Structure 1
Amino acid sequence: MKRRDFVGLTSLAAGALFLPSFPSMAGNAVDPSRLLEPVMDATVNKRLADAALNAAKSAGASYADVRIGRYLNQGIFTREKQVQNIASTESFGAGVRVIANGTWGFAATNTVTEAGIAKAAQQAVQIAKANSKVQKEPVKLAPQKGYGEVAWKAPIQQNAFEVPIAQKVDLLLAANAKALENGANFVNSALFQINEQKYFASTDGSYIDQDIHRIWPTFSVTAIDRASGKFRTRQALSAPMGLGYEYMVPKAADKVAGPAGSDVIGYKNSYDILEDAARAAKQTKEKLTAKSVTPGKYDLVLDPHHLGLTIHESVGHPLELDRVLGYEANFAGTSFATLEWRKQGKPYGSKVVNIVADKRQPGSLGAVGYDDEGVKTKEWMLIKEGTLVDYQKIRDQAHIVGQNESDGCCYSQSWQDVQFQRMPNVSLQPNKSKLSVDELVKGVDKGIYIAGHGSFSIDQQRYNSQFGGQVFYAIEKGKITGMLEDVAYQTNTIEFWNSCAATCDESDYRFSGFFNDGKGQPSQSSAVSHGSATTRFNGVNVINTARKVG
């Protein structure tokens, strides 16, 4: 079968069972043309929402909210010169959350009619009343004013679903060709596109219509030394973004060079997949002969695409208030940063560590106007000059820490899942004074520059951890001297952030992020970005991952 014929015949994603382990493609397989249908009608949604809210109040709810959602996904998967799969999915339904007898109840339906949604509301109240028999304390919601009828739309320039599939396939296959031309033996590439159309209404008086877009191009390149059987890989240095297809149109102004001698290029609001694929192949071949690192203490210079994962695991997750309170102990652990730990006044990091939470950052994965319980999003400090000053919280948590306002970080992955506290964008603020990457490296006598996400592990309290990367370069007396391999650093959260010595300025600030951040039981997935500039950490313990222990 010719590739063009294949593209035309795979619109219904019959091979959905063979999807790689990438972002969730939940929903029903649909023809790609379905993804181009108009967004949900706000007038119709308001009528449906009122049916749910009225039914909930009539059944005895003291509070109710309803989310009507249409979730669109498309994934395109290729390998070398072939298309592996094209999957387009749609999920549509409504979820109703209520408080009755001081207790939460939730129910969902894909029968999105006035009768169907009213029935779900009544069921949610019944569940709440049943749960109230074992509830020890009533739910206490932080006050929230109603906003009336409002709308928020991601400021995209081009809807990725409107771009012909053949054009997107051609781009991925061109990236594969670039990798193969530059020495790769194998290459896989993929492009994920998501559109969340969400309508929220509550008894507080809010009717909020939102249209959210996300995109993620990615690949994996492998080079083999056939004589020895040794192989190395390098993943894409792209960041998933809250943008449209304009992200796939590279602009020179969006490229940021790593330190001189590193052969690393970072990307801001647009991404050059062809350049990155070619560079990845060259770097992967170089990794085959790179020097294996000598274990010891090193100053680390961490690229934003790498540092985002460390921020995510060692700051983002441990400062989720539900983890701090022990509500998340049944899945992925709790947090060392308890309320008692905070009272002790111990520094979370050095004075240069200023970490902010913000769900409004343009282009970020977490960018929305309102969260999934109708709270307007905002920016707030988590760590100020190394001191823990706040957590991430939602409406029914604020009173526990003596506050009367939600942070607007409640989210659900779909209409059929209940919303709960999720990580907002969590970012390390850049240096207010001018400091370039090369200037940062000049101050390092013995160090390693690391770019890209690698394997990692962290304990249940988000304290002891180990992180790898994609590419590593030795730094000697302020200069990059060559590529290294088998690098990972071991540390604990407090030691690591207290070793933070300096961060570059705003010109180097970029996003890293994740399409599929898992949390909860049953597990849910959310998308989140982490911004930072290149940052130096002094005296960090580095191990050799290829050496045997004992």
Structure 2
Amino acid sequence: MKRRDFIYLTGLGTAAALMPGIPVVGKPIALEQTLEGVDPAKKKQMADVALNAARSAGATYTDVRIGRYLNQYVITREDKVENIVNTESYGMGIRVIANGSWGFAATDNLDNDSIAKTAALAVTIAKENSKILTEPVQLAPQKGYGEVTWKAPIEKNAFEVPIKEKVDLLLAVNDAAMKGGADYINSYLFLVNEQKYFASTDGSYIDQDIHRIWPTFFITKIDKQSGKFETRNALSAPMGMGYEYLNARPQDKIKGITTLYKGRYDMLEDARLGAQQAGEKLTAKSVEPGKYDLILDPSHLWLTIHESVGHPSELDRVLGYEANFAGTSFLTLDKWESKKFNFGNKNVNIVADKTQVGSLGAVGYDDEGVQCKEWDVVKDGILVNYQAIRDQAHILGLKESQGCCYADNWSSVQFQRMANISLRPGKEKKSIDDLIRNVKKGIYIIGDGSFSIDQQRYNFQFGGQLYYEIKDGKIAGMLKDVAYQSNTQEFWNSCAGIADQSDYRLGGSFFDGKGQPPQSSAVSHGSSTAHFTGVNVINTSRNIG
């Protein structure tokens, strides 16, 4: 949880206090209402009112987003249900260009008169903004797609699953953890359904249905004699999937120390092991600081990718648009222009992909009506591209947007957000065991933890959930108090090997904060387990204060 996210999320609802890092947004609605839809023909009619009104008021370009955002929260603690909440946020955002400048306005009154007035207001704002404009907006060309639909390829709509089934699962998870020795456990299920309709003067009418799911828990184990405690959070990844995510299959299981599945999640098994591992952490050996080889599981590496690759390759950060709030980037344009900037070694290939099935950021079209795609950011260790949207594409000489524009709500203006940024797997057949076998002195890290990174996304420190000492190619026992320090270039140049596609998994952030006023987006980062050599490890218990 980032500090800027915390500032944004506090005060968003009483249930949020029971769910660390999860905001409650929208008004409460009845469960059965979450299954109701809005007729696309009705949405097209409303969009046309906005498009025509904006044109009449002087807009040279207009796009309209009609959004229905549904959330469901199921919250438990030990043997109790703490809360069950269903919320809805529904309205329209209208963005225009007039006199070469952007303008935006939004409304949740969706009668024709209110829509027309909101469109006129957006144009008025654009014209006022143009008075201080230094350069007119330059939009990359974008063809219209006509009337199209895109639906997330889910197998089971989680909103249709009875609440009792969800509660029974979470209480069973809690029971398994308590029987395994946990003293406390909170478990949660958070569901999202975004029903988004986009229309523009380019000629697109795009109806999309997007689903996300996040099952998670937080276990605490206390040493009764010393009063010390350890925690173990769920190793689940939030996913762009339906309820099928919770139906782990035998063929999905990856051999390892803890519960690791490819594309599915066994929450019960994770809770049982989580309680056991929290107890083991109480008696684990405290790490000796020094240089170690690191074997980083995808459940951990996703966050390092997010912070050290995802954020610095966002073009708006590179250009300084985020400097006041979130920082800038060490990946300045001159490094890209040189065509030889050494981001990492030849093992490092980073791809941006808004189409990856099961990922949090997967959609058919972004919030500018651009069809989503995949592109290289780092190729054979060299920086080759950034993440850009329609009004930035010309800066990079691109003929089209890369399709990574997003708004977290109908009432928020869309802007450049991180695509799914992932490390490509190794090309040679290689397992986790193969990587460990090559390490003389190292640490195997599983799960994400606390982290710190500077404003340019260069110098950093990362912790995790579980740490295992490696001696002479074998696991030698559990460690604790581990964090590693490096800088982005040094770290990615130390990548000695990556497991193959069979180990590839997604991690991700359900709430990545950015912008003023702040918005939150969901994004995934994939990788296989990777080996990094000679990384500086500190003992966190000796570095307090």
Q: TM-score, normalised by structure 2?
A: 0.96
Displacement of 1:138 after TM fit? 0.1
> Following superposition of structure 1 onto structure 2, how do residues 64-75 of structure 1 map, counting pairs within 5 Å?
64-75=62-73
| Counterpart for residue 420 of structure 2 | 425
| Counterpart for residue 106 of structure 1 | 104
Q: TM-score, normalised by structure 1?
A: 0.95
One of 228, 233, 242 as aligned partner of 2:240 = 242
| Distance (whole Å) between structure 2 residues aligned to residue 455 and residue 414 of structure 1 | 28
Displacement of 1:269 after TM fit? 2.0
1:23 aligns with 2:25: no
One of 367, 378, 382 as aligned partner of 2:377 = 382
CA deviations 1:269-303 (Å, max 9, x no partner) are: 22100000000000000000000000000000000
Q: Is residue 13–residue 25 contact of structure 2 (8 Å, CA) maintained in 1?
A: no
| Counterpart for residue 545 of structure 1 | 540
Displacement of 1:113 after TM fit? 2.0
| Distance (whole Å) between structure 2 residues aligned to residue 425 and residue 113 of structure 1 | 37
> Following superposition of structure 1 onto structure 2, how do residues 524-539 of structure 1 map, counting pairs within 5 Å?
524-539=519-534
1:63 aligns with 2:83: no
Q: Is residue 481–residue 540 contact of structure 2 (8 Å, CA) maintained in 1?
A: yes
SS of the equivalent of 1:152 reads strand
| Larger mean Cα displacement after TM superposition, 270-279 or 109-118 | 109-118
| Distance (whole Å) between structure 2 residues aligned to residue 406 and residue 210 of structure 1 | 19
| Distance (whole Å) between structure 1 residues aligned to residue 499 and residue 543 of structure 2 | 36
What 5-or-longer segments of structure 2 have no aligned partner? 1-11
| Counterpart for residue 301 of structure 1 | 295
Aligned partner of 2:169: which letter? Answer: L
What 5-or-longer segments of structure 1 have no aligned partner? 1-12
| Distance (whole Å) between structure 1 residues aligned to residue 514 and residue 17 of structure 2 | 24
Aligned partner of 1:439: which letter? Answer: D
| Counterpart for residue 457 of structure 1 | 452
| Distance (whole Å) between structure 2 residues aligned to residue 87 and residue 287 of structure 1 | 34
| Larger mean Cα displacement after TM superposition, 413-422 or 427-436 | 427-436
1:227 aligns with 2:225: yes
| Counterpart for residue 523 of structure 1 | 518
| Distance (whole Å) between structure 2 residues aligned to residue 498 and residue 50 of structure 1 | 52
Displacement of 1:114 after TM fit? 2.0
Q: Is residue 330–residue 521 contact of structure 1 (8 Å, CA) maintained in 2?
A: no
| Distance (whole Å) between structure 2 residues aligned to residue 179 and residue 46 of structure 1 | 50
| Distance (whole Å) between structure 2 residues aligned to residue 268 and residue 120 of structure 1 | 46
Q: Is residue 482–residue 539 contact of structure 2 (8 Å, CA) maintained in 1?
A: yes
Displacement of 1:332 after TM fit? 1.4
| Counterpart for residue 276 of structure 2 | 282
1:35 aligns with 2:34: yes
Q: Using the aligned pairs only, state the percent identity.
A: 66
| Distance (whole Å) between structure 1 residues aligned to residue 401 and residue 117 of structure 2 | 29
One of 380, 391, 397 as aligned partner of 1:396 = 391
CA gap 1:251/1:365 in 2 versus in 1, 3 angstroms:
same
| Distance (whole Å) between structure 1 residues aligned to residue 101 and residue 231 of structure 2 | 51
| Distance (whole Å) between structure 1 residues aligned to residue 535 and residue 383 of structure 2 | 22
| Distance (whole Å) between structure 2 residues aligned to residue 157 and residue 500 of structure 1 | 37
| Counterpart for residue 478 of structure 1 | 473
| Larger mean Cα displacement after TM superposition, 112-121 or 385-394 | 112-121
| Counterpart for residue 5 of structure 1 | none
| Distance (whole Å) between structure 2 residues aligned to residue 100 and residue 549 of structure 1 | 54
CA gap 1:17/1:278 in 2 versus in 1, 3 angstroms:
closer
| Counterpart for residue 506 of structure 2 | 511
| Distance (whole Å) between structure 2 residues aligned to residue 206 and residue 32 of structure 1 | 32
SS of the equivalent of 2:283 reads coil
Aligned partner of 1:387: which letter? Answer: I
1:160 aligns with 2:158: yes
CA deviations 1:347-403 (Å, max 9, x no partner) are: 000100000000101111011000000000000000000000000000000111111
Displacement of 1:17 after TM fit? 6.3
1:317 aligns with 2:311: yes
| Counterpart for residue 85 of structure 1 | 83
Q: RMSD value over aligned CA atoms?
A: 1.3
| Distance (whole Å) between structure 1 residues aligned to residue 540 and residue 76 of structure 2 | 31
| Distance (whole Å) between structure 2 residues aligned to residue 336 and residue 312 of structure 1 | 15
Displacement of 1:18 after TM fit? 4.1
> Following superposition of structure 1 onto structure 2, how do residues 178-197 of structure 1 map, counting pairs within 5 Å?
178-197=176-195
| Counterpart for residue 8 of structure 2 | none
| Larger mean Cα displacement after TM superposition, 424-433 or 389-398 | 424-433
| Counterpart for residue 487 of structure 1 | 482
Q: Number of residue pairs matched?
A: 533
| Distance (whole Å) between structure 1 residues aligned to residue 349 and residue 289 of structure 2 | 30
Aligned partner of 1:312: which letter? Answer: H
Displacement of 1:548 after TM fit? 4.3
Aligned partner of 2:27: which letter? Answer: N
Displacement of 1:342 after TM fit? 2.9
Aligned partner of 2:286: which letter? Answer: S
CA deviations 1:34-74 (Å, max 9, x no partner) are: 1111x221111111101100111110000000000000001
Aligned partner of 2:24: which letter? Answer: M
| Counterpart for residue 3 of structure 2 | none
| Distance (whole Å) between structure 1 residues aligned to residue 543 and residue 439 of structure 2 | 29
| Distance (whole Å) between structure 1 residues aligned to residue 327 and residue 61 of structure 2 | 31
Q: Is residue 258–residue 270 contact of structure 2 (8 Å, CA) maintained in 1?
A: no
| Distance (whole Å) between structure 1 residues aligned to residue 190 and residue 543 of structure 2 | 38
| Distance (whole Å) between structure 1 residues aligned to residue 226 and residue 397 of structure 2 | 62
CA deviations 1:307-345 (Å, max 9, x no partner) are: 000000000000000000000111110101000233453
Displacement of 1:220 after TM fit? 0.6
SS of the equivalent of 1:192 reads strand
| Distance (whole Å) between structure 2 residues aligned to residue 500 and residue 270 of structure 1 | 27
SS of the equivalent of 1:288 reads helix
CA gap 1:548/1:393 in 2 versus in 1, 3 angstroms:
closer
| Distance (whole Å) between structure 1 residues aligned to residue 449 and residue 145 of structure 2 | 43
| Counterpart for residue 500 of structure 1 | 495
Q: Is residue 365–residue 513 contact of structure 1 (8 Å, CA) maintained in 2?
A: yes
Aligned partner of 1:346: which letter? Answer: F
Displacement of 1:265 after TM fit? 2.4
1:326 aligns with 2:326: no
Displacement of 1:21 after TM fit? 3.2
| Distance (whole Å) between structure 2 residues aligned to residue 14 and residue 399 of structure 1 | 41
| Counterpart for residue 3 of structure 1 | none
